[in-house]
Amino acid sequence: MPANVTQVPPSAQSKPAPEKSAVKTDAPAQNAVPQEAKAIKAQPPVKPETREDKTQSSKATVVPTPATAVSPSEVSGASVNAERADGDEPSPKQSLWSVLFSRVKSLWSGLGGGQKRFLCVAVLPSLLCLAYFALWASPMYISEVKFAVKSAEGGASGLNLMTSLFKVPTASLQDAMVVEEFLKSNDAFTAVDRELQLVTHFSSSEHDLISRLESKPTVDEIASFWSRISRVSVNQDSNVITFEVRAYTPDMAYAINDQILKVSEALVNSMNERAKEDMLELADIEVASARSRLSAAQDALRDFRNQHQDLDLKATAEGMQSLVIELESQAAMLRTEIAEQSRYTDPSAPAIQALQARLDGVMQQIERERSRLTEVPSDGVSINTLASQYENLVTEADFARQQLVFAMTSLENAKADILSKNLYIVTVAKPSLPDESLYPQPFLFTFYVFVALSMAYAVLSLIVAAIREHMGY
C-alpha cells in the first residue's frame, strides 16, 4: 500500500467538493493504481459543469474518512461498481415488487406486538385455508337418499303416545338405529367397495393430496375417511334415515347411495331371516320335545297294559269298587228286611232263615271283592297299586299330549308373528344425482377457520395475561 494517503478535513466532508478538487484529491491514489486497473476505462473528456453534473459528481465522489486509508484495489472496485450502477436500470416488474415489499415492510413495522401475533395466528392460516379451498382442493359432489325401516305390524295409538311422552324407543326406531350403526361402520364401506371399487376412486392421484384416501389404506384410515365423506342421521319422530355422501364425480355419488339402499335392504332381510330362524327354531324344539315326551308316555302305557293284560286298570278297579258298594247296599237291604220280619215272626222261621242265608252270601261276596282290591298277588303288587300306577301313566300321557298341542299352536303363532313383524325398506327420497359441486365452500370454510382461530387466540391471550398478572409482570 502507498504511504501518501490524502486526508480531507472535517469542513470539507459536509460540502460537496468541486470536480477539480476531487480529481486532485484522488490523484495520488490513481497514480498508485497498477496499469491493469487503468486500462479498465479511459477518462472521458472534461465538459463544462452544469448543476446536474455537480449533483452527480457530489454523489459519485468517494471521500475517505480522516483515519481511513484507501487501497488501489478498493478504488478500482468502487469505480467499476459505480460505472455498472450507472449503466443498469431496474425493470418495471422488479420496481413493482420492491415497492410492494417496502410497503409491506413499512406496514409490518408499524404494527404492534399483539397485532403481529394475531396476524400470524389467525389471519395468515385463514388465508392459507382460503388458498387451499379455492385453488387446490378437488371439487366433490354430494348425493342424498332417505329411507325408512317399516314392519307390517302397526302399534297401538296409546303405546305410541306413551313412548312419545316418555321418549321410549319403539321397535321401528330400534331397527332404524341398527341400520344407522351399520352404515357408519367399515362393513358398509366394504360392501359398497366390492361393487364400486371405492378405494380406487377415492385414492386416485388426480385428486388433491389432503382430501383423497391412501392407495393402501388401513382399517383405521378407512373408518376415518368413511366418517369424513358420509353422514347418516335418524329422525326419531318419523324413523326416517338420511344418508349423505360425497364423491369426486356425480355418477359415483349417485352410485354409492344406490348401493347403500341395496346393502341396507340386505341387512334388513338378514335381520328378518335371523329372527325367523330363531323363533322357528325355538318353536320346533318345543314341538319335538313334546312329541318325544308323548311318545315315551304312550310307550310306557302300552307296555303296562300288555304286562298286566288289562286295557284300563283304573276302570277295572272302579268296577270292582262299584261292585263292592252294590253288594254292601244289598246287604243293608237284607238286614233291614230281616229286622222287619223278626218283629212278627219267629227268628227260626224259614223265611227269616232264607234271608239270613242271602245276607251271608252277600257278605262273603263283599269280602272276596275287597280282598281282590287289596290283596297282594304273586307279583307283589295289588290291583289298587296297579291302578294308581296306571293313573300316573295316563296323566303323563295326557300332559304330554296337551304340551304337544300347545307347542304346535306356538309354532303356528310364531309363523304368523314372523309374517306380521317382517321388516322392509321404504324409500322416502331416491338417490339424487348432483349437477354441481357443493364441497368445499371456500369462503364459508375459511370463515369457520378464522372464527375458530380468533377464539383460540383470544382465550390464549386471556390465559397469558392472567398468568403475567399473577406473576407480577
Q: Is residue 40 part of a domain?
A: yes
Domain identity same for 368 and 436: no
Q: Is position 318 within any domain? A: yes
For 149, the enclosing helix (H) or strand (E) is strand 141-151
> Is residue 415 located within the same domain as residue 434?
no
CA–CA separation, 451 and 464 (whole Å): 20
pLDDT in tens, 371-411: 766 665 545 566 667 777 878 888 898 999 999 999 999 88
Q: What is the pLDDT of residues 440-463, one digit of tens each?
A: 888 999 999 999 999 999 999 999
Is residue 47 predicted with pLDDT exceeding 70? Answer: no
Percent of the chain's residues with pLDDT above 70: 72
In this structure, of 44-48, 68-72, 160-164, 278-282, the range with the lowest mean pLDDT score is 68-72
CA-to-CA distance for 9 and 227, rounded, in angstroms? 82
Determine the average pLDDT of the residues in 190-211: 92
pLDDT tier at 92 (50, 70, 90 boundaries)?
low
- The band of 79, judged by pLDDT with boundaries at 50, 70 and 90, is very low
The stretch 404-429 carries a mean pLDDT of 86
142 and 243 in a single domain? The answer is yes
Residue type at 16 in one-letter notation: P
pLDDT tops 60 at residue 52: no
Count structural domains, the chain: 3
442 assigned to some structural domain: yes
Q: Per the structure block, which three cell numbers stand in for 458?
A: 383470544
Q: Is residue 285 part of a domain?
A: no
CB-based burial, 92-102: b 16+ in 10 Å, e otherwise: eeeeeeeeeee
Last residue of a domain, one of 420, 439, 459: 420
pLDDT at 69 over 50: no
Q: Are the beta carbons of 436 and 142 closer than 8 angstroms?
A: no
pLDDT band of 348, cuts 50, 70, 90: confident
Arithmetic mean of pLDDT over the chain: 76
Question: What is the tens place of the pLDDT at every residue in 299-317?
Answer: 988 888 787 776 676 667 6
Closest to 319 in 3D by CA, of 383, 376, 364: 383
Amino acid at 430: K
pLDDT at 118: 87
* pLDDT average, residue stretch 264-279: 86
Does residue 355 share a domain with residue 378? yes
Q: Same structural domain for residues 311 and 382?
A: yes
What secondary structure letter does DSSP report for 144?
E
Domain boundary among 22, 57, 86: 86
| Residue 243 grid cell | 344418508
H-helix or E-strand spanning residue 70: none
Are 154 and 172 contacting, i.e. CB atoms less than 8 angstroms apart?
A: no
pLDDT higher at 472 or 75: 472
Rg over CA atoms, the chain: 58
According to the model, what pLDDT value does residue 383 have?
67
Place of cell 484495489: 73
- 166 domain-assigned: yes
Closest CA to 231 of 442, 439, 451: 439
DSSP, residue by residue, 205-242: TTS-TTTSPPSS--HHHHHHHHHHHEEEEE-TTT-EEE
Written as nine digits, the cell of 240 is 326416517
CB burial readout 275-288, b (16+ within 10 A) else e = ebeebeeebeebbe
Q: Do 409 and 331 share a structural domain? A: yes
Question: Is residue 112 a part of any domain in this protein?
Answer: no
Can you give the pLDDT at residue 402? 93
Bridge partner residues of 146 (DSSP)? 242, 429
- On whether the CB atoms of residues 242 and 182 are closer than 8 A, the answer is no
Question: ω into residue 440 within 30 of 0, thus cis?
Answer: yes
Q: Are 210 and 141 found together in one domain?
A: yes
Nearest alpha carbon to residue 439 among 251, 252, 258, 245? 245
- Coarse DSSP helix, strand, coil percentages of the chain, rounded to the nearest 5 percent: 70, 5, 25
Q: Rounded distance, CA 71 to CA 81, Å?
A: 16
Model pLDDT, residue 162 = 52
Look up the domain containing 248 and give its range.
134-279+428-471
Contact indicator for 170, 160 with CB cutoff of 8 Å? yes
- Please state, in angstroms and rounded to a whole number, the distance separating the CA atoms of residues 270 and 265: 9
**Identity of the highest mean pLDDT range in 46-50, 60-64, 117-121, 253-257:** 253-257
Q: Are 243 and 257 in contact (CB under 8 A)?
A: yes
- The 10 Å CB-count burial string (b at 16+, else e) for 65-79 is eeeeebebeebbeeb
Q: Which residues contact 393 (CB under 8 A, 6 or more apart)?
A: 297, 300, 301, 304
> What is the layout of strands, in order, in the sheet containing 141-151?
230-234, 240-247, 141-151, 423-429
Kindly state the DSSP code that residue 438 receives in the 8-state scheme: -
In this structure, are 269 and 143 located in the same domain?
yes
Encode pLDDT of 144-198 as tens digits.
999 999 876 654 444 455 555 555 567 778 889 999 999 999 999 999 999 999 9
Asked, for residue 122, whether it belongs to a domain, the answer is: no
| Other residues' Cβ atoms within 10 Å of the Cβ of residue 311 | 8
Residue 431 cell numbers, joined = 338417490
Residues in contact with 417: Cβ distance below 8 Å, sequence separation at least 6, in sequence order: 279
462 and 384 share a domain?
Answer: no
Q: Name which of 261, 262, 226 is nearest 246 in CA terms.
A: 226
**DSSP helix/strand/coil, 4:** coil
CATH of the domain at 222: 3.30.1890
- The pLDDT of residue 15 is 43
Residue 66 lies in a domain: yes
**For residue 244, pLDDT beyond 90:** yes
Same domain for 155 and 268, yes or no, is yes
**DSSP conformation letters of 232-290:** EEE-TTT-EEEEEEEESSHHHHHHHHHHHHHHHHHHHHHHHHHHHHHHHHHHHHHHHHH
**What local confidence, expressed as pLDDT, does residue 39 receive?**
42
Cell numbers 376412486: residue: 201
Q: Are residues 233 and 295 in the same domain?
A: no
Amino acid at 175: D
Given pLDDT bands bounded at 50, 70 and 90, which one contains residue 323? confident
What count of other Cβ atoms lies within 10 Å of the Cβ of residue 263?
A: 20
Q: Which helix (H) or strand (E) holds 5?
A: none
Are both 388 and 448 inside the same structural domain? Answer: no
**What are the residues whose beta carbons fall under 8 Å from the beta carbon of 381, sequence distance 6 or more?**
389
**Are the beta carbons of 186 and 222 closer than 8 angstroms?**
yes
At residue 94, the pLDDT reads 59
